[in-house]
Amino acid sequence: MPPKSLHEREMYMKLKSFVTVGVACVGLAALAGTFASSAVADPPAISNSVVTSGSDTTQDVLNGIAKTIGGTPQTIGSWDAFTGLNPIHTHGLITPKSTAACTNISRPNGSGDGVNSLRRAKSGTTGFPASSAQPMSHLSTDDVATPVSTPLGSLCWDAARSSSGPAANVVDSTGGLLQFVPFALDAVSASTGPTGTTHITNANSFTTQNLKDLYTCHAVTVGTITYTPDGGAGTTPIHLYVPQAGSGTRSFWASTLGFNGTTLPTCVHDTSEVDGTSVQEHDGTVVAADPDGIAPFSIAQWIAQFNHPTGVTDRRHGAVLHTLDSVTPTVTGSGGSTLLNTAYPIKREVFNVIPQSAVASGLLHNLFVTTSSQVCSDSTDIQKYGFGLLSSTTPHLCGAVDSALRAFGPSTF
């Protein structure tokens, strides 16, 4: 097996204290993916009114919205899931608030870490269970218990970013202490390395059922090519990747394709079969280095990295998105802009997670709740960063409060 990644070793040592479109449409990825920004989009100050962390998928759009909303200091302080480019992602210590308890704590990496960090920050305060012995049930049944070091009751976090809703086992429609509030639409595509280097030459002909079969370790024949997970005599090998444990995209991909995202099937990998690098979500490093590799990639993130607004790091490394069920991942908008194709088969809402006690009024309500909230009113940034707008044809409107998205009652908080 490949050696454990630097990230895995670092997280274990520091945190063990707690639990194409067609080729014509996206062939530019092979060229544009070679350029990268070193910009770090962490908050400009630690005295922000609302501090949030979590999902890699939505970090860039929240950073953009935060900048638009502004404030002195900036109203929303949105901390990235990591800094740097894979394989040198940095998940080091940060100080999200200028208090002793919030000094040099671990950076939450992914939706699971963000939500669990928020839960720990609020535990022991008014309206939340006081005991540190409370079971820490996780965002999803597919999330591994990735340790986070936010001190209990520290109030270091006010909200969390999540690219998936709460799992059924933690939904509590009447007593849940957290509310998942939808704000945009995303879709997730299978991605490969650049055209001309990837061996998965029929990826644009895949169907959703093909992906389900592959990710449950079954060979599929597409055209004249038989793809076999991890290889087989007389067939073309395919390496099936998922992002790091705790990733909302990993949970979503697993639940959509029907495999266990916690105990991965033997043919599904979260480290590279080529060099052991940890797979970070929405980063093309692993498929760029492995011509047999395929991995989920947020279409919104791909578009944001392609558009490259200020503060977005281009991490595609030439990764190409693919048509699924004959539907392209992107469409061309007015002025030639690249937009998310909301008809793509594998799509999802993305969320901001806030304490349920903040739903009715106050700053968090004004920022996130109802279609007229400050976040929902910023449709320009939502689309500039690659996401689609929620509407009457999506499960929810932006800023909706749905009891089915209320989670973590006192017994599971």
Give me the CATH number covering residue 288.
3.40.190
E strand residue ranges, 213-365: 220-222, 225-229, 236-241, 268-269, 293-298, 320-321, 330-332, 338-340, 347-355
**Structurally, how many domains does the chain consist of?**
2
- What is the pLDDT at residue 400? 98
- What is the pLDDT at residue 292? 98
325 with 378, same domain: the answer is no
Q: Is residue 365 part of a domain?
A: yes
- What is the pLDDT at residue 86? 54
256 with 172, same domain: the answer is no
Q: Cβ(295)–Cβ(198) under 8 Å?
A: no
336 with 193, same domain: the answer is yes
Of 340, 370, 387, which closes a domain? 340
* CA separation for the pair 290, 238 (Å, rounded): 10
Q: Is 301 helix (H, G, I), strand (E, B) or coil?
A: helix
| pTM for this predicted structure | 0.83
Q: Is residue 28 part of a domain?
A: no
Nearest to 293 by CA among 304, 301, 285: 285
- What is the pLDDT at residue 23? 31
Q: Is residue 77 part of a domain?
A: yes
Nearest to 373 by CA among 381, 383, 385, 365: 365
230 with 324, same domain: the answer is yes
396 with 309, same domain: the answer is no
pLDDT, tens digit, for every residue of 106-152? 899 889 889 999 999 998 776 666 544 333 333 433 333 344 478 98
* CA separation for the pair 323, 20 (Å, rounded): 6
Of 285, 312, 340, which closes a domain? 340
159 with 296, same domain: the answer is no
Contacts 24+ apart (CB under 8 A), 19-22: 19/136, 19/145, 19/147, 20/195, 20/204, 20/320, 20/321, 20/322, 20/323, 21/321, 21/322, 21/323, 21/328, 21/329, 21/330, 22/204, 22/323, 22/328
153 with 274, same domain: the answer is no
- What is the pLDDT at residue 308? 77
For residue 356, report the phi and psi dihedrals to the nearest 5 degrees. -60, -30
384 with 331, same domain: the answer is no
Q: For residue 329, what are the domain limits?
A: 186-340
145 with 134, same domain: the answer is yes
pLDDT, tens digit, for every residue of 354-411? 999 999 999 999 999 999 999 999 999 999 999 999 999 999 999 999 999 999 998 7
329 with 191, same domain: the answer is yes
164 with 301, same domain: the answer is no
| CA distance from start to end of the chain | 36
Mean pLDDT of the chain: 84
* CA separation for the pair 141, 160 (Å, rounded): 18
363 to 25, 75, 286, 319: CA distances (angstroms): 42, 9, 40, 39
Strand-pair partners of 75: none
- What is the pLDDT at residue 81? 87
Q: Is residue 61 part of a domain?
A: yes
Q: Is residue 356 part of a domain?
A: yes
- What is the pLDDT at residue 79? 94
Q: Is residue 30 part of a domain?
A: no
222 with 323, same domain: the answer is yes
- What is the pLDDT at residue 311? 77
Of 319, 340, 361, which closes a domain? 340
Instruction: Report, as ranges of residue numbers, the positions in the chain whose pLDDT lies below 70.
Output: 1-41, 84-91, 126-148, 413
Q: What sign for the dihedral angle of Cα 142, 145, 150, 151?
A: positive
* CA separation for the pair 266, 247 (Å, rounded): 19
* CA separation for the pair 178, 289 (Å, rounded): 40
